[in-house]
Structure 1
Amino acid sequence: MRRLIKPGQRKARRPLKVMMLGLRGLPRVQGGVERHVEELALRLARSGCSVEILARGPYVERKDPHRWRGLVVTPLPSPRARSLEAVVHTLLGVVHAARRGPDILHIHAVGPSLLVPLARALGLRVVVTHHGFDYDRAKWGRFAKVALRLGEWAGMRFANRRIAVSRVIARTMNTRYGVLVDAVPNGVTPQPQPSSMAALRQFGLTRRRYVITVSRLVPEKRHLDLIEAFARGAPEGWKLAIVGAADHEDNYSRMVLAAAEATPGVVATGFQSGLALRELMAHAGLFVLPSSHEGLPIALLEALADGLPVIASDIPANREIGLSDACYFPVGDVPALTAAIAQSCASFHTDAERDASRARVGREYDWDLIAVDTRAVYETLREDEDPAAILGELTPLPRPSPR
């Protein structure tokens, strides 16, 4: 992670006004982008920034603008149609930002980035964070995939500054579009291990005797592979906890819930947050992420921060975290996943191994440092960018340096 401006070297100036757009909402809204924005925005606010979150109305409890932990949360209308909600909400968000005039409009994910040219035309300074190749997700049809690719192009081509949550994404964008993209990863916040186990009792789980996966119920997370692998070779006395829900119920989510109900030892907990989620994660015996698509998986980082043994598919986003080869299996290979689960559950994981995992991930994926680097991007933009710059003046820049 390159340090663009060292802490303590900034000149005293008025607080940055930042708006964030592209997430569903916060707090307690499931999703990697939502978690990323929550952790980042809270730290930016503590550092003196004025941060406003533009949320999608159906996903937040309060429908009026309100404050939450130092952030301003402004719900805007959004249809609950999967193909329309992001673009409609982003359009309204860009218009809202143009009226309010923040120093920075920070747009998250490639779908909402489709509106970056409009934001620039309205005089806004725009930072885009690329969270993953969303057009590779199995849930999208042909038209949606084309729109998402156009969003990626528009974000990379017309944003004032670009961030990617992994080095893989940053390198790909640099090669594909010839622009500089700062690799600023997702992170974790190490937390004390909870002593309470109410959530375990609620779902019939025994400490250190269950496998857990945490994600939305979407096809690229490949829950069915995990359920089948567990059914083939479930260690005696172990259970599988599937934590998460679908934003929009569909055939896939119904198939996952039906398979969970039909498979002995599998428990579907639905969406969990707060202390219940902490208990379920911290007391698990093994975390598994069998997905075919990720940006940089926060859930996997959080499992490592809890010292859990982990198994993940061998896609580039998971490989970037740098686990041992024994922790990876070929995506979609159910027999290999079955064998990996059996081997991990039969192994004894020492406290020293768990502590080493916690220390490494806490050191390399520290949200506090991530917030410093993100603010550094904002500050360079405030220093040297003219919001009235003519669109299309971008020129190829060097590849980003490795983190």
Structure 2
Amino acid sequence: MKIAMIGHKRVPSREGGIEIAVEELAVRLTAMGHQVDCYNRWQDFGAGAVRLPREYKGIRLIRIPTLASPSLNAFIYSVLAVLRALTGRYDVMHFHAEGPCAMTFLPRLFGIPVVSTIHGLDWQRAKWGRFASRYLLWGERNAARYSDALIVLSNGNQQYFRRTYGRETIYIPNGVNLIPCHEPEEISHRWNLSKNSYILFLSRLVPEKGLHYLISAYKKMDTNKRLVIAGGLTRNNEYVRQIRGMAEDDPRILFTDFVQGRVLEELMSNCCVYVLPSDIEGMSISLLEAMSCGVQCLVSDIEENVDVSGGYAVSFPKGNVAMLQSCLERILSEDGCLHDREGQIAFVREKYSWDYAVGKHLRVYEQVAGKNKAGKN
């Protein structure tokens, strides 16, 4: 089959869960003999632009120019990506996220099968202004109306689309690559971190991830465990300035900036607890990665986090700083005594497989492409 992936930022990258998911799917589909084209967003096209690869592990990378402006980025990219893809003679166009799904009507006009994946209800996120939120809602409605198959990552989103649009969806959870356990070598050299000496927050630094709750709770704690915040420190970002301001008077708090590879694996392997205090999630791959290496996890009690963790993570009421503090203090005092590490690892291995996810996606592609061919005949 010939498949177009539209909606992510860049492949390869770890800029977010969507990028990880698209890469994992595309790499495996390509290895099975299918042709996958990933439509990457391209903003650095000035005189000093870095040359970007045109292929990655057999995936064709197609660069689509867009603007850096968050409010216009997805719209411009989606329009140009779809117009370019209309000439590609694809068996399926697979859209990811609500913003890009606004353009799902275009391939349908040309008789091209459309699959859409809603990674989360993006219009609810605090960072979007009025125009952007309305655009995202338009994308959500178009995904519900024009997609031949609509994929969601949580049971809650299944119920939402059934209740709001009367639309049936297909539940396909993301997979996870098990994080290998490493001794703290690189992180020891860089930041003097040792095993079980720190609490870890590893995510994008955006309001809906709830980092401000964690910093507020941590600063009230009497502990020698450090708080390590691993996420890209975007310049001129109001929320990044806010959280750095909250942390500046506490030398126990460490900002690492964006991490990946061996450093990320060491941070995951050696933390005493991983914390995800989010208000909104789609399906956190970072949480799955932490669980895959047996780390004790503390999450907000939103449905997406509780479902993903399968009862192995401790949860606290979303946005409740006092309860977050209390749960953290209890976990640190127990020192992992009540944590079923082996059961957690086995749970993740059994339930969250990229190979299983790819097989389910391929069956969806074949079904919608087959219906389209039958309709033409």
Please, what TM-score do these two structures have when normalized by structure 2? 0.93
Which whole-Å deviations, capped at 9, do the CAs of 1:144-166 have from their partners, x for residues lacking one? 11111111000111011110011
Distance change (3 Å), C-alpha of 1:27 and 1:322: closer
* AA matched with 1:127: V
Which amino acid is 1:272 matched to?
Answer: V
Structure 1 distance, partners of 2:277, 2:374, is: 43
Aligned with 1:293 (options 280, 297, 318): 280
Counterpart check, 1:104 vs 2:92: yes
Cα contact 1:105–1:127 (8 A) shared by 2: yes
Q: Whole-Å Cα distance in 2 between the matches of residues 127 and 62 of structure 1?
A: 32
CA drift of 1:325 comes to 8.6
Structure-2 residue corresponding to 1:358:
345
What is the CA distance between 1:238 and its match in structure 2?
0.6
Change (3 A) 1:48 1:130: same
CA displacement at 1:326 relative to structure 2: 7.1
- 1:310 equivalent to 2:300? Answer no
How far 1:381 sits from its partner (Å)? 1.0
Shift of the 54–369 alpha-carbon distance from structure 1 to 2, 3 Å rule, reads same
Bigger shift: residues 314-323 or 292-301:
314-323
Contact 1:166 1:296 in 2 (8 A): yes
Query: Post-superposition shift, 1:311?
Result: 0.5
Please say if residues 42 and 65 of structure 2, whose CA atoms lie closer than 8 Å, have aligned partners that are also in contact. Answer: yes
Q: Describe the shift of the 1:248–1:55 C-alpha distance in structure 2 as closer, same or farther (beyond 3 A).
A: farther
Partner of 1:125: 113
Q: Which residue of 1 aligns with 2:30?
A: 45
Q: Deviations over 1:112-154 (max 9, x none)?
A: 1011112212332110000001111011112211111111000
Higher RCO (C-alpha under 8 Å, 6+ residues apart)? 1
Distance in 1, matches of 2:120 and 2:340, equals 30
Do 1:124 and 1:387's aligned partners in 2 also have CA atoms closer than 8 Å? no
Give yes or no for contact 2:234–2:240 (8 Å, CA) kept in 1: no
Scaled by the length of structure 1, the TM-score of the pair is: 0.88
Give the 3 Å change call, closer, same or farther, for CA 387–119 of structure 1 in structure 2: farther
Q: Distance in 2 between matches of 1:220 and 1:366?
A: 27
Q: 2:184–2:270: 8 Å Cα contact kept in structure 1?
A: no
The 5-angstrom pairing of residues 2-401 of structure 1 reads 16-58=1-43, 63=51, 66-195=54-183, 197-235=185-223, 237-245=224-232, 249-324=236-311, 327-349=314-336, 353-386=340-373
Aligned pair in 2 of structure 1 residues 73, 266: CA closer, same or farther (>3 Å)? Answer: same
What residue in structure 2 maps to residue 4 of structure 1? none
Q: Deviation of residue 290 (structure 1)? A: 0.5
Question: Structure 1 residue 260: deviation in Å?
Answer: 2.8
- Pairwise CA distance, 1:361: 0.9
Q: Shift of residue 353 of structure 1? A: 2.2
After superposing on structure 2, the runs of 4+ consecutive aligned residues of structure 1 that deviate more than 4 Å are 59-65, 386-389
RMSD after superposition: 2.1
Q: Which residue identity lines up with residue 347 of structure 2 in the other structure?
A: R
CA deviation vs aligned residue, 1:189-221 (integer Å, no higher than 9, x gap) = 114312352024312322111111111111111
Paired residues of 2:94 and 2:114 also in contact (CA < 8 A): yes
Give identity over the alignment, percent: 32
CA distance in 1, matches of 2:5, 2:119: 14
The 3 A distance-change label for structure 1 pair 28 and 262 is: farther
Kept after mapping to 1: 8 A contact 2:178/2:292: yes
Residues 387 and 345 (structure 1), Cα distance of their counterparts in 2 relative to 1, 3 Å cut: farther
Letter of the structure 1 residue corresponding to residue 253 of structure 2: V
Query: What is the rounded CA distance, in whole Å, between the counterparts of 1:377 and 1:326 in structure 2?
Result: 32
Q: Offset of 1:322 from its aligned partner?
A: 4.6
Counterparts of 2:374 and 2:140, CA distance in 1: 21
Structure 1: give runs of 5+ residues left out of the alignment.
Answer: 1-15, 390-403
What is the letter of the counterpart of residue 205 of structure 2? L
Kindly indicate whether the alpha-carbon contact (under 8 Å) linking 1:26 and 1:34 is maintained by their aligned counterparts in 2: yes
Q: Write the letter of the residue equivalent to 1:162.
A: L
List alignment gaps of at least 5 residues for structure 2. Answer: none
Tell whether the 8 Å contact from 2:7 to 2:100 is kept in structure 1 after alignment.
yes
User: 1:242-281, CA deviations, whole angstroms, 9 ceiling, x for partnerless residues?
Assistant: 1112557421111112323332211111111111111111
CA contact (8 A) 1:211 1:239 kept: yes
Q: 2: distance between equivalents of 1:19 and 1:326?
A: 36
Q: For 1:264-308, what per-residue CA distance to the aligned partner results, in whole angstroms no more than 9, with x for missing partners?
A: 211111111111111111111100000100011111111100100
Distance (whole Å) between structure 2 residues aligned to residue 100 and residue 135 of structure 1:
30
Residues in 1 aligned to 2:237 and 2:367: alpha-carbon distance in whole angstroms: 44
Counterpart AA for 1:52: D
Shift of 1:68: 0.9
Does the residue aligned with 1:208 lie in a helix, a strand or coil? coil
